[in-house]
Structure 1
């Protein structure tokens, strides 16, 4: 009897899952793949830099590295909820091949694992036409929540990346 049970268990396909870091921008929930995030920290003091776009808040020293800090709400032109005042914000540190960047979020990010099948491709008409690459990977469904899944590596244009590197 036991060999049959073992065989049955092997036939069951394990559904692929995606592990996200979830945070709020405005009143909506967003997520990024955990493998795109190096660390999450309370936002340190930010030093403003001249000649940078307004959504680049400046640079910060995080564990000895000087990294640019971006405000995602400002980048995406998302209004903050009225009456919101920050005690602390949090920074998601992302490391790409060419640069390291911090992204400010207002609340403590949460970790969430979703089945890949619960993430639908985003309709093309909601993509930002000013940004060449698709930075919205899809829309995740979790219970009654919708989570906009971002590809953090595609949020900046190549021009913006070269501007930050110089």
Structure 2
């Protein structure tokens, strides 16, 4: 009976947390859930493919797999600050059921764990009206930073996914 009372007195509040990979696009910070990222690598040589949207930079060989490479800044129409030069880019590789895709980022991605309670739902009016699904999961707050949390699986439209599969 006494052990029950001790257990009752312990603080059982567990803070639910989300682990993100954080990177910059333009001047803003973005994050994706770490479980959506298979690996992070320095971007290998990219071979341009005909008749692909401009934000699809081409394909690369990453660990023996040929995968499409997308430039997220171009996809989201984000301008890079002038004078911002990086010697390499990095590729976040994600694997969906139907396809594998690489996303180019221009800085070394960082790992960050946030309490789920610090991520607010994004207002619907800031979503891309051309994409049916809501790819912005929310806006995370960490100290004086705002991090736009993306659902990487919803960035492509279903038509674009069909093009990738063929």
TM over 0.5: yes
Matches within 5 A, 1:68-147: 68-147=68-147
CA distance in 2: counterparts of 1:78 and 1:154, whole angstroms? 18
Q: Tell whether the 8 Å contact from 2:86 to 2:107 is kept in structure 1 after alignment.
A: no
CA distance in 1: counterparts of 2:161 and 2:82, whole angstroms? 32
CA distance in 1: counterparts of 2:14 and 2:97, whole angstroms? 32
Q: Deviations over 1:93-112 (max 9, x none)?
A: 00000000000000000000
Long gaps (5+) in structure 1: none
Matches within 5 A, 1:1-166: 3=3, 4-9=5-10, 11-166=11-166
Cα deviation, residue 85, structure 1: 2.0
Q: Deviations over 1:133-161 (max 9, x none)?
A: 00000000000100000000000001011
Cα deviation, residue 47, structure 1: 0.2
Cα deviation, residue 5, structure 1: 4.5
TM-score between the two structures when normalised by the length of structure 2: 0.96
Cα deviation, residue 23, structure 1: 0.2
TM-score between the two structures when normalised by the length of structure 1: 0.96
Cα deviation, residue 7, structure 1: 3.1
Long gaps (5+) in structure 2: none
Calculate the aligned-residue CA RMSD, in Å. Answer: 1.1
SS in 2 for 1:146: strand
SS in 2 for 1:49: coil
CA distance in 1: counterparts of 2:127 and 2:6, whole angstroms? 48
